[in-house]
Amino acid sequence: MKVVTILGARPQFVKAAAVSRAFNEYPNIKEVIVHTGQHFDANMSEVFFTEMGIPKPDYNLQINSLGHGAMTGRMLEEIEKILIDEKPKYVVVYGDTNSTIAGALAAKKLHISLVHIEAGLRSFNMEMPEEINRILTDRISDILFCPTETAINNLEAEGYANIDTEIVQCGDVMEDVALHYNKLVGNDDVLLNALKIESGKFVLCTMHRQENTDDPATLKRILTSLHAINEIYPVVMPIHPRTAKKIADLGLEIHFKTVEPLGYFDMIRLIRNSKIVLTDSGGLQKEAYFFEKFCITLREQTEWVELVNNGFNKIVGSNQDALMEAFDHFKNKSFEKGTSLYGDGKASSVIAKRISQE
């Protein structure tokens, strides 16, 4: 049984590491990997295939640095050609990127069964391109693998009981990845010493979303807050190329430590040694939880509402007062994880078993 997996953005590489490993347990599954090239920097794609043991992509489309329409259109065109040649039983897409919707449209127009991993998530903000991508992908998928009960409830509220699709609550593949690779990551001291930071005494921050980087006033507010936090605990930011460019274009100063984008193992080292995590990334919000760190989210909404409802995450957007209040709330608070919110680390096995059955 041939399965074509569409990958393109950094978080998808991480998720694919777990699912591809689970596919290997079933001799009847042959996986063909298509890398759209959406993230093309070596530090943001190739390192994952090398470091995490993900099979090298069979195709690399090298489509990047374009607007949403041009990027999605070119991906759709090229993916369609591959699907016509490969004739898979399933196309698997992850998450909510341009690569996701392009792969989904190509599959359905060729009447190929479509599998969406990380389905049912909603931010309820239609100004986010990711929200558009995930809603449309869910609607045309044949199998929806949902990470949480919240995701199931979202689909039910949208009338999916009346839509001919299979809905499976499988848990979150990101937890599979975190549990697996946490055991393999070695000594943290080399990275911490290189960055001149101490375990438990720094704040880890990532920021890449357009709503934070493209509006100068928003970007300035966030940087001002980060500078204030840096006076209390050093801030370390693996800086996204777009974020770095926007800051440079505006002539803004950075008074905290920045580093080039890191591989997944080094990110694990930073997460598990940090005091608090600040991010606008969906994946890092969960990874903070997996490694028992409180998270402050630089967005107005989150798909991971259970983290907020259980007190592990605070949503602050770019509000400086809210950000500092959240930081003060978390900085001396003990993390008590309790029952896992995202399954038991076996989501990938559930997905592979289901796909292998036909």
- 208-227 pLDDT, tens digit per residue, is 988 999 999 999 999 999 99
Residue 215's CATH number: 3.40.50.2000
Query: Is residue 237 classed as helix, strand or coil in its secondary structure?
Result: strand
Q: Are residues 207 and 286 in the same domain?
A: yes
Q: How far is residue 210's CA from residue 327's CA, in Å, rounded to a whole number?
A: 23
Q: How far is residue 290's CA from residue 284's CA, in Å, rounded to a whole number?
A: 9
- The answer to whether residue 91 sits within a structural domain is yes
Backbone φ, ψ for residue 267 (5° rounding): -65, -40
Q: Are residues 350 and 263 in the same domain?
A: no
Q: How far is residue 270's CA from residue 281's CA, in Å, rounded to a whole number?
A: 15
Marked catalytic residue, from 180, 208, 227, 329: 208
- The answer to whether residue 306 sits within a structural domain is yes
Q: What is the pLDDT averaged over residues 243-260?
A: 95
Q: What is the pLDDT of residue 47?
A: 65
- The answer to whether residue 336 sits within a structural domain is no
Q: Are residues 131 and 240 in the same domain?
A: no
Which band of pLDDT confidence, cut at 50, 70 and 90, is reported for residue 234?
Answer: very high
- Please give the residue range of the domain that contains residue 87: 2-172+343-356
- Tell me the per-residue pLDDT of 52-103, one tens digit each, with 9 for 90 and over: 777 788 999 999 888 899 999 999 999 999 999 999 999 999 999 999 999 9
Q: Are residues 27 and 95 in the same domain?
A: yes
68 in catalytic set: no
- The answer to whether residue 207 sits within a structural domain is yes
Q: How far is residue 109's CA from residue 337's CA, in Å, rounded to a whole number?
A: 44
Residue 112 CB partners (closer than 8 Å, separation 6+): 83, 88, 89, 90, 91
Q: Are residues 230 and 206 in the same domain?
A: yes
- Which residue spans within the chain are E strands per DSSP? 2-7, 30-35, 59-60, 90-94, 113-117, 143-146, 166-169, 203-206, 235-238, 257-259, 276-279, 295-297, 313-315
Query: Is residue 236 classed as helix, strand or coil in its secondary structure?
Result: strand
- The answer to whether residue 338 sits within a structural domain is no
- Tell me the per-residue pLDDT of 15-42, one tens digit each, with 9 for 90 and over: 888 999 999 999 999 999 999 998 766 5
Residue 13 has pLDDT above 90, yes or no: no
Q: What is the pLDDT averaged over residues 304-331?
A: 96
Q: Are residues 124 and 225 in the same domain?
A: no
Q: Are residues 162 and 214 in the same domain?
A: no
The whole-chain average pLDDT of the chain stands at 93
Q: Are residues 150 and 296 in the same domain?
A: no
Q: What is the pLDDT of residue 343?
A: 86
Q: What is the pLDDT averaged over residues 157-184?
A: 94
Q: Are residues 233 and 154 in the same domain?
A: no
Q: Are residues 97 and 243 in the same domain?
A: no
Residue 188 has pLDDT above 80, yes or no: yes
Q: What is the pLDDT of residue 43?
A: 55
How many structural domains is the chain composed of?
Answer: 2
- The answer to whether residue 89 sits within a structural domain is yes
Lookup: tokens for 143: 């199998």
- The answer to whether residue 177 sits within a structural domain is no
Which band of pLDDT confidence, cut at 50, 70 and 90, is reported for residue 12?
Answer: confident
Q: Are residues 22 and 164 in the same domain?
A: yes
With a pLDDT cut of 70, the percent of the chain lying above it is 97
Q: Are residues 9 and 120 in the same domain?
A: yes
Q: What is the pLDDT of residue 131?
A: 94
Which band of pLDDT confidence, cut at 50, 70 and 90, is reported for residue 156?
Answer: very high
Buried b (16+ CB within 10 A) or exposed e, 38-71: bbbeebbbbbbbebbebbebebbbebbeeeeeeb
Q: What is the pLDDT of residue 2?
A: 98
Which band of pLDDT confidence, cut at 50, 70 and 90, is reported for residue 289?
Answer: very high
- The answer to whether residue 184 sits within a structural domain is no
Q: What is the pLDDT of residue 303?
A: 85
- Tell me the per-residue pLDDT of 91-138, one tens digit each, with 9 for 90 and over: 999 999 999 999 999 999 999 999 999 999 998 989 889 999 999 999
Q: End-to-end distance of the chain based on CA atoms, in angstroms?
A: 8
Backbone φ, ψ for residue 34 (5° rounding): -110, 120
